[in-house]
Amino acid sequence: MNLSMPLAAVLGLLLTGCALDEQARVLDEAQASYQAVQNDESIVRHAPKDVLRAGETLERAQRFGGYLGSREDVLHYSYLSQRYSQIAREHADLVQGRERLGHLQRQRERMQLALEGARMASATPGQQDPQDQLISLAATETDRGLLMTLGDVLFTANSTELSPAANRTLLRLVQFLQLNPKRSVRVEGYTDNRGDEGENQRLSQARAQVVADLLNSLGIDASRIAVVGYGHLYPLAENASARGRAQNRRVEILFSDDQGQLAPLR
């Protein structure tokens, strides 16, 4: 730096440099926020106008970034772009939540009708042999207790929505729990090892919770239902093949003994 340069000029250069650094930072943050929502198909599908606004305001911020003396405009439009990106994400979450709620409501209504039909078709359900009940559930005895597995095929791909194929299986489970009021269950979610570990944990927990919520909505008291997500832990098969990964993506129903005692968590 020129030592003979006036102090005011030196301070001016320093302030200009700081301002340019701040502009670059906020532009980068706005770009990252926009890129994240733009690359999320679900957000683009559910909140397209908000994503479009985020992109338009980001372009304005970038254009102003090429002119001297436009710091306030850069900061303003960068902030707007980040807010629109945030609004797009929140809007998409709201729409998806409503869709899931509607889907669950429709599924519950279908299953309640089916459950009522099953009650009417069974003349003496309380006299059904316990062993026959277990056979109908396709449950197996393990070192942790009686276990029933809901495979990945019972969920819509990469989502927490139960497919229609799950209805018959869960109806049998509800009937079993109604006929055995001292039994409780733990609903355990699992994934394969692909993708982000945190996302796998979230998905496994969410899938288990969907099953638990449906059982509760069909009359099984929440105090009889525990929920846990294990992510990619405890695989049943190697994750090297598509078939093995499909086996590992599952929800397991662990039954208590006939006194309501569940095995410890894994």
Q: For 199-244, how does the pLDDT look when each residue is reduced to its tens digit (9 = 90+)?
A: 899 999 988 998 998 898 888 999 999 999 999 999 999 999 999 9
In a domain, residue 185? The reply is yes
What is the tens place of the pLDDT at every residue in 117-145? Answer: 655 555 444 455 555 566 567 788 899 98
241 and 139 inside one domain: yes
Note whether 40 and 140 are same-domain residues. Answer: no
Is residue 38, in this structure, part of any structural domain at all? yes
Per the domain annotation, does 103 fall within a domain? no
Same domain, 199 and 245: yes
Give me the mean pLDDT over the 78-98 stretch. Answer: 90
Q: Which domain holds residue 76?
A: 10-96
The predicted-structure confidence for 155-172, as pLDDT tens digits, reads as follows: 766 667 777 777 778 888
Same-domain pairing of 139 and 226 = yes
Q: Identify the CA nearest to 226 among candidates 216, 215, 212.
A: 212
Contacts of 197 (CB under 8 A, 6+ apart): 231, 232
185-190/145-151 β-pairing:
unpaired
Q: Is residue 155 part of a domain?
A: yes
Any domain includes 109: no
129 and 251 together in one domain: yes
Q: Are 51 and 14 found together in one domain?
A: yes
> Do 175 and 242 fall within a single domain?
yes
Q: Are both 246 and 160 inside the same structural domain?
A: yes
Q: Are residues 170 and 234 in the same domain?
A: yes
Burial of 229 (0-12, 13-18, 19+ CB in 10 A): buried
pTM, entire model? 0.57
Domain end (from 57, 78, 96)? 96
Does 140 share its domain with 179?
yes
Residue 117 falls inside a structural domain: no
Quick check: 5 pLDDT over 60? no
